[in-house]
Each structure stands twice: as C-alpha cells, then as structure tokens.
Amino acid sequence: MNKGIMESVKDKMVGSIKGTGEVLNAAVDTVSGTLVTTIKGTGAVGTALTSTVSDVLRGAIMGTAQVGGDVGAAAKGGVVGVLKGTKEVGAETIDTVSVSARTLIKSAAEVGGDIGTVARNTVEGAISGAKQVGLNVEEAASAAATGAIKGAGEVSQQAVQQARYAVTGVIAGVKVVLKEPFK
C-alpha cells in the first residue's frame, strides 16, 4: 500500500468536502484526477494499477469518514472516478471495477460505514461510470456486485449477507447478475 497516495487523496477529500460540502463530485474528481496523474507518472499497469486504484479509493473513503461525509456517496463517486480516470489513460477494464468494489467495501467496514449502502452505491457508480466511458453496463454492474461480495467476505459473514442483499436484483434499471465463486 502506498501511504503517500492514500494520504494525499484523503487530504484532498477532506479539503474538498469541507470547502463544498459535496461528497459525490469530490470523489469523482479527486479519484479520477489522482489516477490520471499517478498512472501517467508511473506507467502503472496490471498489479501496480490494481494497487494504485486500491490506495486512491481507500484514501477517498478515509477522507470522507474523517469529516463525517456520506461514505456511500464517496463509494459511488469513487467508482465513477476510477472508470473516468483509467479511461483517460487507456486502462479501464471490468476487472478494475471489481477491484474497486472490493476495496470500497473493505475501507467502508474499516470506518464503520454501512456495508449494504456502500455495496449498492458501488454498483450504481459502476453503472453510471460504465455509461460515461462506454463499457458494458451489465458487465460493470456484475463486476461491482461480485467485487463487493468478495470484499465483504474479507470483513465478516454478516457483511457478506448485507452486501449480497444490497446488490441482488435490479439497480438503476440494470439486472445485476452475481458471478460466483466469490473467493
């Protein structure tokens, strides 16, 4: 984990939310901007990209929680930000969505966020972001839901139940299909 990136994003989120009171757009802008700068600067791909995405999202959740902001809105904005940022540098994939969801759930659990709300908002963010960058919306929703359940599996069995309940069915007009196994 890169403490520098995570702390930097956390601080940007704190400043932005304190300045505007707005969480969703702060997350989209901070996450996408940081990813573009970092990926262009390091050429991160594969595992390095996954690690960078995780650090950036963790920072967004931590910063939001620090100022008492809506962690669910940060999760939604975070996924949109990841898709926009990675598209700008040609690295957007469905795998990135799954990794994002997994990280968001684990980070939300760390700060006492509502797992169900964060899971659902993560899927909504994946749908919105996929539409914006031209990815398959159903695949993105599915990847987010599956990633959320994987992340919840690293938290507790109760978290898995909350996440599964929250991401099952139709979200934002898209039927969400879970891809098993969740290991």
Residue with the bigger pLDDT between 76 and 43: it is: 76
Which tens digits make up the pLDDT trace of 167-178?
Answer: 999 999 999 988
pLDDT of residue 2: 67
pLDDT the model gives residue 47: 82
Residue 1's pLDDT is what? 61
Give yes or no for a contact between 139 and 83, defined as CB atoms under 8 angstroms apart.
no
pLDDT confidence of residue 183: 54
Q: Using CA atoms, how far apart are residues 171 and 69, in angstroms rounded to an integer?
A: 23
pTM score of the predicted model: 0.92
**Using alpha carbons only, what angle is made at residue 109 by residues 84 and 146, rounded to the nearest 5 degrees?**
55
pLDDT digit string, tens, across residues 58-105: 999 999 999 999 999 999 999 999 999 999 888 778 889 999 999 999
Encoding tokens for residue 132? 């914006």
Report the distance separating Cα 34 and Cα 11, nearest Å. Answer: 12
- Distance CA(134)–CA(149), nearest Å, equals 24
pLDDT tens readout for residues 95-139: 899 999 999 999 999 999 999 999 999 999 999 999 999 999 999
- What's the DSSP call for residue 131? H
Q: Is the pLDDT of residue 182 over 60?
A: no
Rounded mean pLDDT of 9-21? 94
